[in-house]
Amino acid sequence: MPTEVMDRRAADNEYLHKDFHGALSNALIYLEERFGPDAVRDYLRQFARAYYAPLRAELRERGLAAMAERLRQVYADEGADIELELGDDELIVRVAKCPAVSHMRAHGHRVSRMWRETISAVNEAICEDSAYDFDLVDFDELTGRSVQRFHRRGEEGSA
């Protein structure tokens, strides 16, 4: 049989490799086992402060609309439906089923018991030094269903 060749250019495919969720989950499991749960949160905060620096600046300048735009894009990219309620001082996000958790469970990847921190620690870090704060109001470990609330600091309320 002659040599088989596969030749691809970047434009030939869409960039969407959901198995990366499984790699991240394994990383969180490793961090928790080796260094403890605080290391998981420390790492995620450090990543969020660095990588989301442009988003953090936008949040400070434009408010919660910047966060809403990002979330719409992220969940749309992964084929998930979400509900957003955007007000002047509050953004409520309802995710019926987390696409990352769904993918990992469907493909037999281990789901870190600290997966919720990819929402809570990350969003808390994004909100640092802004007028806003973040609460993970509800999170279902099995499906990743969640209710997320961004709100102006000092504002009380319930989702």
Residue 77 in tokens? 């990219």
Query: Rounded to the nearest whole angstrom, what is the least distance from the CB of residue 157 to another protein in the complex?
Result: 22
Query: Rounded to the nearest whole angstrom, what is the least distance from the CB of residue 125 to another protein in the complex?
Result: 12
Q: Whole-angstrom Cα distance, residue 130 to residue 58?
A: 10
Query: Rounded to the nearest whole angstrom, what is the least distance from the CB of residue 154 to another protein in the complex?
Result: 26
Q: Which is nearer to another protein, 17 or 61 (CB)?
A: 17
CA count, 13 A, side-chain hemisphere, 130? 28
Cβ(144)–Cβ(101) below 8 Å: yes
Query: Rounded to the nearest whole angstrom, what is the least distance from the CB of residue 156 to another protein in the complex?
Result: 25
Place of tokens 């995710």: 95
| Footprint of another protein (CB under 8 A) | 1, 3-24, 26-27, 29-30, 35, 39, 42-43, 46-47, 50-51, 53-54, 74-75, 77-78, 95, 98-100, 109-110, 118-119, 122
Q: Which is nearer to another protein, 21 or 151 (CB)?
A: 21
Q: Which is nearer to another protein, 51 or 142 (CB)?
A: 51
Amino acid occupying residue 47: F
Q: Which is nearer to another protein, 38 or 85 (CB)?
A: 38
Q: Which residues contact 128 (CB under 8 A, 6 or more apart)?
A: 49, 56
Q: Which is nearer to another protein, 92 or 95 (CB)?
A: 95
Query: Rounded to the nearest whole angstrom, what is the least distance from the CB of residue 155 to another protein in the complex?
Result: 24
DSSP symbols for 115-127: TTHHHHHHHHHHH
Q: Whole-angstrom Cα distance, residue 35 to residue 3?
A: 47
